[in-house]
Amino acid sequence: MTTTRRNLFKLTGGAAVGAMLTPAPWRLITDSALWSENWPGIPRPRRGEVTFQFGNCSLCPAGCAVRARCVANQPVSLAGVAAHPLSHGALCAFGIAGHHLPYHPGRLKSGPAAEANQAVRAALGQLRGAERCAVLDLRPGRTASWTYRRAMAAIRNGVYLAPAAPIAINLAAAKTVFSLGAPLFDGWGTPGNVIAARDHFRLIQAEPVESRTAIMADLWLPIRPGSEEALALGIANLLLKEKKIAGLPAGFADRLREFPPTMAAMHSGIGEQQIAALARELQDNGPVLVLGENGSPYAAALNLILGAPGRTLVLRREAPVPDDWKKAAPVADLASVPDGSIRVLLIDESATGEALPWSAIQSKLAEKAVVVTFAWSKEGYGRQAAFTLPTAVYPESLDDIPPAVDSPAAAFRLSAAWVAPPDGVVNPADFVAGLAGLAAKDALQERAAAIRKSGRGSLFVPSSATSTPARDVKPDDFWKMLQAGATWIDDLDANAPAPKLDVPALPAGTASSAFPLVVVVTEPDTPALVSPLLSKVYQESNLRLAPESVALHPSDARACGLETGSRARLETDCGSVAVNVTVDSDVPPGVVQVAGGPGIRKICGASSRARVVRS
């Protein structure tokens, strides 16, 4: 038999028909759908062993406990630790995506470390007379802070500068909380602690804007912008009724006379009767806690009048330190340094806390001062400093977090180093210690040993959700457990003396027409970097105001010639910063709502006034 072309065609045709009756071609067609699914260029998740590791979040002083789900030792998601006595399982939006920060595009990976070192040493060698070398620490109380203090004690004319914070708040002891615009539910203290204590106190929020805290409050007093002083003094008048109380600043009595309840009502827009009822409530429903913006003298004065010290205000305590550390430099205030006397300034802004306006710092700098800042990005003091040295960011470094403002007991907890930092980063404590010839590499371990030696307090272990008295934990285990995310919490001292409340001086009347808008900060201070996923709450939903943004009422925006999306400059008497503008009819007229961030906080203090100028 010969094979002809016709045979071949018959075979092929029959095979084709036969193949159609098999699953093969249909499966191939279906499978092609799978090929279209995995486009090149879409990254694939990595596989690996899944483990859970514990640590604490160092993005803000709250230091909330974190449980990280790790794949091949890389954190892929973070969650709170439900049974934790301080944070109660809460993590804020920034903390939940904190594991993205090492990959943030704005994050610095290398810097002029050698040049900075050289410049600093040269300047230190040339210190004349009363010129100082200063370290400005934005988050004092850490072990690194002690290293700075020890180093400054060893260096001639070394001074350690940090914001003073001698008072801690015992929220659980409060029955009534009167807040003059404090963001209780928006980045204040430890979120989990505030939420856990919420059902036990009545919250009265006096604020011109309906902030998140105002929405959650039992009573929101929509006061006119800038009238906190009037309201506070009006209430003080009713509470004091000619009584005298020690500890109030000079001029307080005079100011009191300026704001009797009628004037208070007129300025604030709150009726006299309501102010009277408020004063009665504060008097009768104690213990009372009065909160205000940072450094607000009105809140402090009211706290003094209402007897908060010793009840809702307690002495701020730190975890114990080794005895030989106590010979360190004292904590000094920037204001106490003479103008033009700082020749070398080292700023540690790698741990966010209270930022100081650059204008206040600048006046203290000598000519030819060398300024080095240790930061995650160039957006903070990097805009003014000569040298910006990158540090490890949140999940890359083992660091301790001092207790938050609402922690009445001392606490010691560490943030874990889950991710390896890039090679070019600098450890600021090592840098400064190196200048003073200090060996401080094991400072954390030394401090842990000192805490254990004190025999006080208890250790909360997140993996088992149990608390053990510290003295029942073996010293070796103590350090290991701290590194694995445990938290040491001191015992509360029932007989602790009431703290002495220093009421700051009252500010001079400002009402400047040059700065017509009252600044209301409606978003918490964000860390220097936030995960790119925060775009979900910023531009992808308009739920929150993005950092370095302001919101204006339509009439104010029109007056400034601005609309949503405009670039502008927010100017105060402390400086100016570039911002994005949003027009929002929910903003009261006369107010500029700002979102905290490294730039904004450096120009806005308590009760700031500002103007917004098109750039």
Site residues, another protein (CB under 8 A): 29-30, 33-34, 36-39, 41-48, 50, 71, 74-80, 89-93, 96-97, 99-100, 102-105, 185-186, 191-192, 195, 210, 212, 215-216, 222, 269, 531-544, 564, 582-586
Output Rg (C-alpha) for the chain, integer angstroms: 29
**Smallest separation, CB 233 to another protein (Å):** 22
Pairing between β-strand 342-348 and β-strand 132-137 as defined by DSSP bridges: parallel
Nearer to another protein, 38 or 336 (CB): 38
> Which residue shows structure tokens 């904590």?
331
Report how far residue 120's alpha carbon sits from residue 434's, in angstroms, rounded to the nearest whole number.
Answer: 11
In the complex, the smallest distance separating the C-beta of residue 415 from another protein, rounded to whole angstroms, is 17
Using a 10 angstrom Cβ sphere, with 0-12 exposed, 13-18 middle and 19 or more buried, the burial of residue 55 is buried
Minimum distance from CB of 529 to another protein (Å)? 11
* DSSP H or E run through 281: helix 272-284
Q: Which is nearer to another protein, 44 or 243 (CB)?
A: 44
Residue with Cβ nearer another protein (88 or 343): 88
* Nearer residue to another protein within complex by CB, 89 or 249: 89
Q: Which is nearer to another protein, 33 or 335 (CB)?
A: 33
300, two tokens: 């402090």
- Nearest approach, Cβ of 465 to another protein (angstroms)? 16
CA-based diameter of the chain, in Å?
128
Neighbour-count burial for 102-141, b at 16+ CB within 10 Å, e otherwise: bebeebbeebebeebbebbeebbeebeeebbbbbbbbbbb
Report the residue number, 105 or 125, with the smaller CB distance to another protein.
105
Cβ distance to another protein smaller for residue 8 or 420: 420
Report, in Å, the least distance between residue 41 CB and another protein.
Answer: 7
Q: Residue 595, exposed/middle/buried by CB under 10 A (0-12, 13-18, 19+)?
A: buried
Say how far apart CA 116 and CA 118 lie, in whole Å: 5
* Least Å from the CB of residue 537 to another protein: 4
DSSP secondary structure of 28-42: HHHHHHHHHHS-TTS
* Tokens coding 8: 């071949």
Q: Which of 218, 210, 222, 163 is nearest to 183 (CA)?
A: 210
Q: Which is nearer to another protein, 26 or 502 (CB)?
A: 26
Contacts of 62 (CB under 8 A, 6+ apart): 87, 189, 190, 191, 404
Contacting residues for 455 by C-beta, under 8 A, at least 6 apart = 470, 471
Smallest distance, Å, CB 297 to another protein?
Answer: 27
CB of 93 to another protein, least distance (A): 4
Decide whether 93 or 574 has the Cβ nearer to another protein: 93
Closest CA to 518 of 297, 333, 293, 305: 293
- Two structure tokens written together for 38: 């995995």
Residue 222 or residue 307: which is nearer to another protein going by CB?
Answer: 222
Return the SS3 of 550: strand
Q: CB–CB of 299/235 below 8 Å?
A: no
- To another protein, the closest distance from the beta carbon of 551 in angstroms equals 9
Min dist CB 142 to another protein, Å, is 25
33 vs 246, beta carbon nearer another protein: 33
Q: 61 or 309, CB closer to another protein?
A: 61
Torsion of CA 195, 199, 201, 204, to 10 degrees: 70
Q: Least CB distance from residue 541 to another protein, whole Å?
A: 5
Nearest distance, CB of residue 420 and another protein, angstroms: 12
